[in-house]
A and B are shown apart, each in its own frame.
Chain A
Amino acid sequence: VNPPLLGQQPLLQACQRFVLVLGAGALGAAICATAVLVAGTDGQRISPRTVGFGTVPVPPPRPLTGSEGAAVSLLRNAGAAAAALHYRGKKLFASWSEAGGQSVLADVEHVPGRGTWVRVTSAGAGAEHQPSQPERELAADLGAPDPAALAVLASEYTVATAASESYAGREATVVEVGHAGWPGPAGRFWIDSGTGILLRHELYDRAGRQVRVVAFLDLDVDPASAVPDTPMVTASLPGARRASEQADGQISPARLASLRTAGWAVPGALPGGLVLYRAREVTADGSTALQLTYSDGLFTASVFAQRGRLDTGHLPGFSPETVGGVRVYAHEGLYRQLVWPGGDTVYTLVTDSPDEAVARIVPVWPHGPQQGGLLSRVGRGIDRMGSWINPFE
């Protein structure tokens, strides 16, 4: 037996143990770093700046048959009539989703060139007789037809004119909108044969359930206001339209491209055939939000993106829910409103789409922990430390 070796044995064991401890720690750190990196690249959970968004293919425009063209023309004229005529009436708004329903009764008056006034007279969902802001004024000529929306409608749906019906004491032409994969209609529109005003419309989900009704219960049209006999298509004045859009915060394609480069999530289309057709910058409550509006011609969705950390303490009436696997704060009104954080941005979705479509739209956007969370902080730390040892950075 060699005495010096005996003396070195405890030291050797201590060294072995130290190496084991370091190895175990390094292994744990490596596993966690891998998990953080994987979470950062899977499902856009960490930062939208690192993620490129693919766009859902947009179906090409489809040539319309003669009857389809006539039906689309009726819808286009309905929008023009709503903008050009002076009318007032009592209107019913009702909407349903899996989470509940909402119905509102309001007096509506539209004055061409001045605007539309909406005065809520009664409403369900706990706000009965006490609307927080009973009267709202909208900007002028909101009902101006949008050729882009109608073009998308014609490419996504079949449009046909059904038999005429009597509705609210008026003769109405019924336009039926259908979808190839749906068992029933996707929407029905009752258009006043005399004035061209849209008297009533109903929207349905894929299962044939009614999800929205907007209907005049009574309607008075000022006979002095002119009935448009030709479609008032704003596209015929491209210069004027572009100017008004820019004044309204409309974003040019070049600016949109630069926003994409800067890391903003701007999908060109959403699941269900909703295509991006408006992008604006909206200033509200002192902060600026990027508004991206999508439509398939029948249903619409706007996503408002704001840089910052979601303050959940100021979301009255919202409750946490899981939609499409994403934790969101949701409110069910005439529109469905969802708010969730994603990376360094807060997203707000306002939509009238059916539940199954909403469940597919939400996961497309960045979601997950914000910068204030430990995981995102660790992710930033790994990025930063990686840049220290990366000779190419």
Chain B
Amino acid sequence: MSERSGRISASRRDPHLGELAAALVDGVLDHSSRDRALTHLTRCDGCRAEVEAQRRIKSQLAGLAGPALSPGFADRLRMLPDRSPAVSAAELPAERFGARFRPGARPRARGRALESRPLTIAGAAELSPIPLAPGHSAYAEVAVAARVAPSRPVVAASGPGRRSQVQRPDVQRPDSPRPGAQRGGGRRRLSRRAIAATAAGGLAAFALGLATVAAAGGADDLQPVSPPVGTFTVEHSRVTGGAPGPNPEVGAADAAVTHR
């Protein structure tokens, strides 16, 4: 194979395309080589499959995008506290950090703070777990709250002029028939039955209405159609033969090969 001014020509008499398949897909073969290759494709299933695979791979590579960041990643980074013992972002290469979030845009105030802010990338815990100083970070506070939560009572509702209702989920009333049951449980069961009955009745009424409407719609009066695609293809090329792009013989060749 030789290369001349960006065009590749096939000099060997290989019965199969081999590496020429990639060159064919890349469109760098000269006319005679490309026509020989295309002619060969009309006879060789293996080479045709290889060319298709190459073409598909090229399309997929062309459609690849850069790695996507998780949603809200930039926001989590901006929410980081000012104090942290970790590495300063100024010590990091720009392309590893904020520059990737807003290409071409100047960082806002928070973004500027981020540059001089230590890298406690906990929003960035996905990247590398960096220890947080307890009591100095929102994340640490959340973690502490999470640890003490089971032993604290849960405040269900509170407000001005209203007594806080405190529930201990792990404590049962002695008179409760089951956990979580309260007074009026029988009434609640009754209302559940009523809701279920209402839903079932509503469903039945809806089905009845749907059936009535469908019955009013009447029966299908359409005849089955199997489009004669081969004839249509020939007719298409018959009509478009006057345009420079199409070719009247293409339809005949297509119909001859694929449609009876």
Binding site for B on A (CB under 8 A): 17, 20-29, 32-33, 75, 78-79, 91-94, 96, 98, 100-106, 108, 116, 118, 120, 122-128, 131-139, 142-146, 148-150, 153, 167, 177, 187, 189, 198, 200-201, 203, 207, 209-210, 212-215, 217, 278, 280, 282, 284-285, 287, 289, 291, 293, 295, 297-300, 302, 304, 306-311, 313-315, 317-318, 331, 333-335, 337, 339, 344, 346, 348, 350, 352, 370-372, 374, 376-382, 384-385
Q: How far is the CB of A127 from chain B (nearest CB, A)?
A: 5
Fill in one digit per residue for B230-250: 1 if any A CB lies within 8 Å of its CB, else 0. 011111111111111111111
Those of B35-83 within 8 Å (CB) of chain A: 35, 38-39, 41-43, 45, 48, 51-52, 55, 59, 62
Q: A105: which B residues are within 8 A, CB to CB?
A: 39, 42
Q: Are B222 and A344 in contact (CB under 8 A)?
A: yes
Q: A126: which B residues are within 8 A, CB to CB?
A: 45
Q: State the majority secondary structure of interface residues on B.
A: helix
Q: Are A100 and B251 in contact (CB under 8 A)?
A: no
Interface residue total, chain B, C-beta cutoff 8 A: 76
Between B198, B222, B239, B257, the greatest number of chain A beta carbons within 10 A of the residue's beta carbon is seen for B257
Alpha-carbon distance between A307 and B214 when the two chains are bound, in angstroms: 22
Q: Are B243 and A146 in contact (CB under 8 A)?
A: yes
Q: A128: which B residues are within 8 A, CB to CB?
A: 42-43, 45
Other A-B pairs, 13, CB within 8 Å; known A302-B240, A333-B233, A350-B232: A20-B198, A25-B206, A25-B208, A127-B257, A167-B31, A209-B59, A293-B239, A295-B246, A298-B243, A298-B245, A308-B224, A377-B218, A378-B213
Alpha-carbon distance between A28 and B241 when the two chains are bound, in angstroms: 55
Q: A198: which B residues are within 8 A, CB to CB?
A: 244
Alpha-carbon distance between A102 and B48 when the two chains are bound, in angstroms: 9
Checking A133, A149, A346, A380 against B244 with a beta-carbon cut-off of 8 angstroms, the contacting residue is A149
Checking A32, A94, A311 against B41 with a beta-carbon cut-off of 8 angstroms, the contacting residue is A94
Fill in one digit per residue for B197-231: 1 if any A CB lies within 8 Å of its CB, else 0. 11101111110111011111110111111111101
With known contacts A93-B253, A105-B39, A348-B227, A335–B236 Cβ distance under 8 A: yes
Q: How far is the CB of B7 from chain A (nearest CB, A)?
A: 12
Alpha-carbon distance between A104 and B42 when the two chains are bound, in angstroms: 6
Checking A146, A306, A381 against B217 with a beta-carbon cut-off of 8 angstroms, the contacting residue is A381
Between B48, B198, B232, the greatest number of chain A beta carbons within 10 A of the residue's beta carbon is seen for B232
Q: Are A213 and B254 in contact (CB under 8 A)?
A: no
Q: Quick check: is B258 within 8 A (CB to CB) of the other chain?
A: yes
Q: A299: which B residues are within 8 A, CB to CB?
A: 245
Checking A28, A284, A315 against B232 with a beta-carbon cut-off of 8 angstroms, the contacting residue is A284
Q: Are A28 and B203 in contact (CB under 8 A)?
A: yes
Q: Quick check: is B252 within 8 A (CB to CB) of the other chain?
A: yes
Q: Are B246 and A118 in contact (CB under 8 A)?
A: no
Q: B257: which A residues are within 8 A, CB to CB?
A: 102, 104, 120, 123, 125, 127, 131-132, 333-334
Q: Are B240 and A295 in contact (CB under 8 A)?
A: yes
Checking B39, B209, B242 against A25 with a beta-carbon cut-off of 8 angstroms, the contacting residue is B209
Q: Are B218 and A78 in contact (CB under 8 A)?
A: no
Q: Are B206 and A280 in contact (CB under 8 A)?
A: no
Alpha-carbon distance between A138 and B182 when the two chains are bound, in angstroms: 87
Q: Quick check: is B113 within 8 A (CB to CB) of the other chain?
A: no
Alpha-carbon distance between A8 and B255 when the two chains are bound, in angstroms: 80
Q: A295: which B residues are within 8 A, CB to CB?
A: 240, 243, 245-246
Q: A278: which B residues are within 8 A, CB to CB?
A: 239
Q: Are B201 and A25 in contact (CB under 8 A)?
A: yes
Checking A24, A92, A136 against B255 with a beta-carbon cut-off of 8 angstroms, the contacting residue is A136
Q: How far is the CB of A48 from chain B (nearest CB, A)?
A: 13
Checking A33, A92, A309, A371 against B38 with a beta-carbon cut-off of 8 angstroms, the contacting residue is A92
Alpha-carbon distance between A392 and B260 when the two chains are bound, in angstroms: 52
Q: B252: which A residues are within 8 A, CB to CB?
A: 116, 118, 136-138
Alpha-carbon distance between A380 and B216 when the two chains are bound, in angstroms: 8
Q: Quick check: is B256 within 8 A (CB to CB) of the other chain?
A: yes
With known contacts A131-B256, A331-B258, A374–B214 Cβ distance under 8 A: yes
Alpha-carbon distance between A189 and B247 when the two chains are bound, in angstroms: 12
Q: Quick check: is B194 within 8 A (CB to CB) of the other chain?
A: yes
Q: Could you jot down 9 A-B contacts, CB within 8 Å?
A: A25-B208, A116-B249, A118-B252, A127-B257, A138-B252, A215-B31, A295-B243, A295-B245, A306-B225
Q: Are A207 and B62 in contact (CB under 8 A)?
A: yes
Q: How far is the CB of A321 from chain B (nearest CB, A)?
A: 15
Q: How far is the CB of B260 from chain A (nearest CB, A)?
A: 5
Alpha-carbon distance between A127 and B230 when the two chains are bound, in angstroms: 15
Alpha-carbon distance between A307 and B227 when the two chains are bound, in angstroms: 11
With known contacts A17-B197, A346-B227, A214–B258 Cβ distance under 8 A: no
Q: Are A92 and B226 in contact (CB under 8 A)?
A: no
Q: How far is the CB of A222 from chain B (nearest CB, A)?
A: 18
Q: Are B243 and A138 in contact (CB under 8 A)?
A: no
